[in-house]
Structure 1
Amino acid sequence: MEPAFTTAQARLVGVRPDRLRAGDLLTPTSGVRSRRSDDITHVSTAHAYALVLPRPFAFSHETAARLFGLPVPRPWKAGQPLHVMRPTGTPLVVRAGITSHRGLERRYTEFARALPVTDPLETWADLAGTLAEDDVLAVADALLAQGLARPKDLERAAADRRTKGCGALRRCAAAARPGAASPWESKARHTFITWGLPEPELNVDVRSSDGRWLARPDFLWRARRVVGEYDGDQHRTDRAQWQYERERRARLEDAGFTYVEMTSLSLTSPRHRDALRERLTRLLLG
């Protein structure tokens, strides 16, 4: 059998009803079975649902973003609804595990992981109605970095929308940069913009006055000789990474740069946000 199959298909080839109720099979959705031993992922779940969804349809919003490998703020968990879009005038999909949308006739579509999806730009524009603005910027940065869009494509997509989130789309289209290496870097840059700070250069080489390579920091405010680094949890748990960061910081500080270290708390904790804002404002605008 295929990894997922419909009960109707199984009956056509002579599979007995009691076999379809066996303990080694799962029911991802009504009318579909899959092997219990198979990994349950957003991709396998979407493939299972696609077997019984009414045509035409396309996966959209966060489901499409995940299928493209774009960053969304919440990791997928088994049982989380999939987003499906159908044309206006057709019935919404009424099925457990589906969040249904209309408007497919106004979207460009393509295939990702062999599944029909709204195209990357349409997906990004739809997400602006459901995600926070810094998350919308993270997706825009990823579109540029992965070659799925150009800056002018983002601007066009934002200009074409008149729905919820269109203001965030326009701001993020203007602020998107291909150099961001992670969603948290994008979210940090959105915070800097919100605070009215100068925009940093992203992931560029920094050299000493005699031409020696020093580092490639996440953020560089060259005129003020300030570098910023966003440290994820691997910087704490990987001792070799931790040691490298210490040595890099020493090289930069010896060359006269001010080193600003950031973590997720710098963006999510009010106390840490206030401290980071005060320090960067003093360093960059004082």
Structure 2
Amino acid sequence: MEATAADVGAERLRAGDLLVPTSGVRVLRSDEVTFESRARAFAAVLPQPFAFSHLTAARLLDLPAPRIWQPDEPLHVMRPKGTPLIVRAGVKSHRGLERRDTEFVDGLPVTDPIETWADLGSELAEDDLLAMADALLARDLARPKDLDRTAADRRTRGSAALRRCAPLARAGAASPWESKARHAFLSWGLPEPELNVDVFTPEGRWLAKPDFLWRERRIVGEYDGDQHRTNRSQWQYERERRAGLEDAGYTYVEMTSLSLVSRQHRRALRERLTRLLSE
């Protein structure tokens, strides 16, 4: 309809320099295809009222997602009860919008952050749910009591996972992988560490701000992302900081994504931390 109003003919709409992300939409083939551009293209033809939900809403809200976006990932769209489900390639349709608060991100309607987290209760692994809950607290998008109430109110599949994660969420987590590591510690029955707190010598000299601190046992844990390996100055800083902590009598436990995703490395980390924290 917009093409007709703009006097764009059918021949132009069939031109080879155009892509069809979804029926009724044309974009230039030269334009970069991104998650945001794909969502915006679909939003132009989706029936009102609707809001993006679930993982699509999480991505638009810049909440931590469990995997990198791929162009074939379906867009999750929610509509009110009583309206037709959307039948369109590339869309996964949901109902229940009448029970959700919504907001706009760059003009695109999305379910609000807490509702988005709760909707993902049945679709994400528990450590990913915790990472998202931590991010909500860290960004002041929710309070602990909001997570508790939302989890308690849900009676759908995944609600048990929400109720387990809500009281474990902490604003001090600085990254999704730190949240995943903490989830592992707690699932192993280990004491909960302090998160990203300053450590000083008895004389008051600052030593570090480690990711994890078991103060009584004088154990610090650090999750090292890829930047610690690829950035030489970062690598050097970490080595010097580690030396300072060890000179002050702290045991330094280094971990990476491999420590959490590899069965062998995960078992080794668990056995080491269990031994250190029980000595």
User: Is the pair's TM-score, using the shorter chain for normalization, greater than 0.5?
Assistant: yes
| In structure 2, distance between residues paired with 1:15 and 1:21 | 11
Show the 5 A alignment for 1:3-42: 8-42=1-35
Q: Which residue of 2 aligns with 1:150?
A: 143
Q: Which residue of 2 aligns with 1:68?
A: 61
Q: Which residue of 1 aligns with 2:88?
A: 95
| In structure 2, distance between residues paired with 1:285 and 1:119 | 43
Which one of the candidate residues 263, 269, 284 is aligned to 2:277? Answer: 284
3-state SS in 2 of match to 1:38:
coil
Q: Which residue of 1 aligns with 2:73?
A: 80
Cα deviations across residues 133-157 of structure 1 (Å, max 9, x unaligned)?
0000000000011111111111111
Computed over aligned residues only, the root mean square deviation of the Cα atoms, in angstroms, reads 0.9
1:214 aligns with 2:193: no
Show the 5 A alignment for 1:39-50: 39-50=32-43
Q: Which residue of 1 aligns with 2:179?
A: 186
| In structure 2, distance between residues paired with 1:13 and 1:276 | 63
Q: Which residue of 1 aligns with 2:97?
A: 104
5+ long unaligned stretches in structure 2: none
3-state SS in 2 of match to 1:128:
helix
1:249 aligns with 2:258: no
| In structure 2, distance between residues paired with 1:88 and 1:96 | 21
* Amino acid in structure 2 at the alignment position of 1:188: A
How far did residue 113 of structure 1 move? 2.1
| In structure 1, distance between residues paired with 2:6 and 2:223 | 56
Show the 5 A alignment for 1:226-265: 226-265=219-258
Q: Which residue of 1 aligns with 2:48?
A: 55
Cα deviations across residues 157-196 of structure 1 (Å, max 9, x unaligned)?
1111011111111111100001111100000000001011
5+ long unaligned stretches in structure 1: 1-7
* Amino acid in structure 2 at the alignment position of 1:217: P
Identity of aligned residues (%): 73
| In structure 2, distance between residues paired with 1:221 and 1:35 | 55
Contact preservation (8 Å) 1:197, 1:285: no
How far did residue 240 of structure 1 move? 1.1
| In structure 1, distance between residues paired with 2:145 and 2:214 | 26
Q: Which residue of 2 aligns with 1:268?
A: 261
| In structure 2, distance between residues paired with 1:263 and 1:254 | 23
1:170 aligns with 2:163: yes
3-state SS in 1 of match to 2:265:
helix
Q: Which residue of 2 aligns with 1:140?
A: 133
How far did residue 39 of structure 1 move? 2.1
| In structure 2, distance between residues paired with 1:134 and 1:160 | 21
- The number of residue pairs the alignment matches comes to 279
Which one of the candidate residues 108, 117, 120 is aligned to 2:113? Answer: 120
How far did residue 123 of structure 1 move? 0.1
Moved more, 87-96 or 214-223: 87-96
